[in-house]
């Protein structure tokens, strides 16, 4: 097995795609142990107000350094967990770690919102809102200290399953973001019916807006639609000044990507946030998102 260091420091151990291959099953066992032993780490990547430069929030992203295979990308192990009973435990772990970090930041006066990625499966049943409510209370955090990111698959799947959970989250006051928008062929009418406060435009569109007029048109119309629905637009995968400038021109609210900052460990991102507070004029990162 080859483990290579990619740009994000996580890449390329690819167990066989076969669902029941021994590699996958043994990796699943390793993942369970990694959760139990708290070996998984969260990195954090800021989301930047376009045109303003303030930090709108940070996204928590899982990192796993396997003792034998080295770093394994979440795009490898999260789908594996999603197909098993482990997803619930993985999400519980991420929520606990993220809330702990949020509590540290809020105690220090850094009122930054942490976005937590969840799986569509986490929306089945009442466990998630209950866990969040208990966690927020235990850490003395307001509901707006976190946001949940879920892919638009929740729009295409059976809505009845997830509607109650989404309502419970709304009642709790925890905002929802729609991740990877544009990749799931979901109906825009359904977007309107869903109580999301943020739509994240997938990097595959964002990356190409400086080169392709067609992609630029798609992104512009998504931004317009999102604004007309009263939601915040976030561009994922902003890697160049040129793309950032086009996004500002198009009226996109927030950008996230290597241009601004790569995902970093909590200590590094804390230093990054402090440095920014010292140099950024205006409200800085205690910007309170509208919910
Ligand atoms: P996502 O939620 O859409 O996260 C954005 C991905 O884009 C992250 O990949 C991030 O590192 C990467 N990224 C950030 N800036 C740039 C850029 O400028 N260019 C490019 N090309 N990529 C950029 P990452 O960390 O490998 O995560 C991949 C996916 O794994 C995430 O996509 C999310 O769906 C899933 N994931 C990560 N952490 C968690 C987690 O805690 N729970 C769950 N359920 N899923 C997670
Ligand atoms: Mg995300
Ligand atoms: Mg995304
Ligand atoms: Mg993604």
Q: Which residues pair with 233 in a beta bridge?
A: 199
**Ligand 4 center from residue 10 Cα (angstroms):** 14
Q: Which helix (H) or strand (E) holds 91?
A: helix 86-107
**Ligand 1 center from residue 61 Cα (angstroms):** 6
ipTM of the complex: 0.98
Which residue's CA is the nearest one to ligand 1's atom 12? 237
**Ligand 2 center from residue 264 Cα (angstroms):** 15
Which residue's CA is the nearest one to ligand 1's atom 11? 263
Q: Which helix (H) or strand (E) holds 235?
A: strand 232-235
**Ligand 1 center from residue 179 Cα (angstroms):** 10
SS3 label, residue 67: coil
pLDDT per residue as tens, the chain (291 positions): 334 444 444 445 666 566 667 787 789 999 999 999 999 999 999 999 999 999 999 999 999 999 999 999 999 999 999 988 899 999 999 999 999 999 999 999 999 999 999 998 899 889 999 999 999 999 999 999 999 999 877 766 666 668 889 899 999 999 999 999 988 766 666 777 778 999 999 999 999 999 999 999 999 999 999 999 999 999 999 999 999 999 999 999 999 999 999 999 999 999 999 888 766 544 433 434 444
How far is Cα 76 from Cα 13, in angstroms, rounded to an integer?
Answer: 8
The pTM score is 0.90
Which residue's CA is the nearest one to ligand 1's atom 45? 117
**Ligand 3 center from residue 58 Cα (angstroms):** 13
Do the beta carbons of residue 47 and residue 254 sit within 8 Å?
Answer: yes
How far is Cα 32 from Cα 18, in angstroms, rounded to an integer?
Answer: 19
Mutate to test the pocket of ligand 1, among 38, 74, 118 (most ligand atoms within 8 A of CB): 74
Rg, Å, the chain Cα set? 19
Find tokens 């032993």 and name the residue: 37
Whether 247 lines ligand 1, by a CB cut-off of 6 Å, is: no
């Amino acid at each position: 097995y080859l483990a290579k260091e990619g740009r994000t420091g996580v890449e390329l151990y690819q167990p066989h795609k076969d669902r029941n291959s021994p590699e996958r099953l043994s990796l699943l066992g390793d993942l369970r142990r990694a959760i139990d032993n708290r070996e998984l780490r969260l990195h954090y990547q800021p989301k930047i107000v376009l045109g303003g430069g303030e930090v709108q929030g940070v996204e928590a992203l899982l990192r796993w350094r396997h003792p034998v295979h080295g770093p394994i990308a979440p795009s490898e192990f999260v789908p594996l967990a999603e197909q098993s009973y482990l997803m619930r435990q993985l999400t519980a772990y991420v929520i606990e770690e993220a809330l702990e970090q949020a509590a540290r930041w809020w105690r220090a006066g850094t009122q930054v919102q942490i976005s937590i990625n969840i799986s569509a499966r986490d929306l089945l049943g009442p466990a998630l809102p209950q866990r969040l409510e208990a966690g927020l209370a235990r850490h003395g955090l307001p509901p707006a200290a976190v946001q949940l990111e879920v892919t638009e698959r929740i729009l295409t799947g059976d809505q009845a399953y997830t509607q109650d959970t989404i309502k419970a989250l709304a009642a709790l006051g925890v905002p929802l973001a729609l991740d990877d928008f544009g990749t799931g062929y979901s109906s825009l009418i359904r977007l309107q019916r869903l109580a999301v406060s943020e739509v994240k435009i997938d990097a595959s569109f964002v990356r190409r807006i400086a080169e392709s007029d067609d992609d630029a048109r798609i992104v512009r119309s998504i931004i317009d639609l999102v604004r007309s629905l009263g939601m915040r637009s976030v561009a994922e995968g902003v890697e160049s000044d040129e793309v950032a400038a086009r996004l500002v021109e198009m009226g996109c609210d927030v950008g996230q990507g290597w241009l601004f900052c790569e995902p970093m460990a909590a200590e590094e991102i804390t230093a990054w946030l402090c440095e920014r507070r010292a140099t950024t004029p205006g409200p800085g990162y205690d910007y309170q998102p509208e919910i």
